[in-house]
Amino acid sequence: MKSLSTQVVIVGSGPSGLLLGALLHKAGVDHIIVERQSGDYVLGRIRAGVLEQGTTDLLDYVGVGARMHHEGLRHDAFALIFKGAFHRINISDRQGGKHMTVYGQTEVTKDLMDHRSKLGLQTIYEAGDSVAVHDFDTDHPRVTFNKDGESYEIKARFIAGCDGYHGVCRASVPAGSIQNFEKVYPFGWLGVLSDTPPVYHEVTYSNTERGFALSSLRSNTRSRYYIQCGMDEKVENWSDDRFWTEFKTRIDPDAAKRLVTGPSLEKSIAPLRSFVAEPMRFGSMFLAGDAAHIVPPTGAKGLNLAAGDVNVLSQAIVEYFQEQSVAGIDNYSSRCLRRVWNAERFSWWFTSLMHKFPDTEGFGQKIQEAELDYLVHSEAALQSITENYVGLAH
């Protein structure tokens, strides 16, 4: 077995693992990233692309923000549609100039990968399903894996589990040491990516009697649209024409007339769930991002929560190595979970407000519409939703 050593092993090379690596490198902390898939596979994942200002500030801090500022779209507002009417909600005016940036997660990942490559930092791809974590209840944890017919071991002081919901890190924690909280929603999102100009300039959420819809965008020429669908739906049953026909029924009439349709570049169905694992630290191993929590995509909190986690974690690890203090690592889980549960609450509330549930026929639909009407006409309610939408402090 070939043996390597470092200060931190990061398992997973998605945006949370890559951002953590960039933050640690900037502070002079040695680390290695281990990824079971190829780099191309990681880049091929289609994910959300609405970044909070705290996330963009972190990307600027590590030196990867240039393309985001050049190609990303600044958003000072989002919009709600209900009862066929469009309502624009300004964020910046209510939240001290804060704003969102529309920039695809794939692009964030690419920028972080390119930055890492230029710096010559070590990332081990295609480690496969052999990746395993060991001895994380001690001060000498290890990560092992097989690659190209060779067995490897990496010795470190800490392991950062940035390997997603289905990753090995959380799965390796003994059942008695972790508590999982989960809500599975009775529907999914059917999403289409197309090279068509966006129908709205704002990310727009629709509540209709036929179900929810989301109008999002990646650029001025590329759009991402979603409709709520049943869990038993199959992608192959949805032609592009069928999707566009249904989507038009879930936006306001003026937008439906000007909607530009086109062939889908990608089409998929994503289930929705709320999930939190507590705690987020197990001895010398820490969970971050989707390894520790999942939010429904309503409100776009997933990537932003991951960025918040690795920001807190990097500070704790740097404090440990530079100041020989354990305060940060001891408080990592509690500090993150307070923010995580606030985001879980908002995402659950927003999902519950905008979607059609089995019990929202008739009376339930009218209650949703009444709450939305109150929301768009109450300054107190608008202050609350914009505060949560733009992102609570990391």
- Mind telling me the catalytic residues? 75, 205, 297, 301, 389
For residue 3, give the amino acid letter.
S
Bridge partner list, 153: 3, 144
Determine the Cα angle at 389 with ends 349 and 81, to 5°.
70
Strand order in the sheet with 73-75: 50-51, 100-102, 73-75
Which residues have C-beta within 8 Å of that of residue 253, sequence separation ≥ 6?
A: 84
Strand order in the sheet with 85-90: 85-90, 77-82, 203-207, 213-217, 223-229, 179-194, 264-278, 293-294
Of the candidates 191, 169, 202, the one whose C-alpha atom is nearest the C-alpha of residue 267 is: 191
For residue 244, give the amino acid letter.
W
CB 162 within 8 A of CB 14: yes
Of the candidates 386, 355, 330, the one whose C-alpha atom is nearest the C-alpha of residue 53 is: 386
Distance between CA atoms of residues 78 and 101, nearest Å: 11
Peptide bond into 15 cis (omega under 30): no
Residue 187, SS3 per DSSP: strand
Does residue 154 come out as left (phi exceeding 0), alpha (psi in the -120 to 50 range) or beta? beta
How close are the terminal C-alpha atoms of the chain, in Å?
A: 41
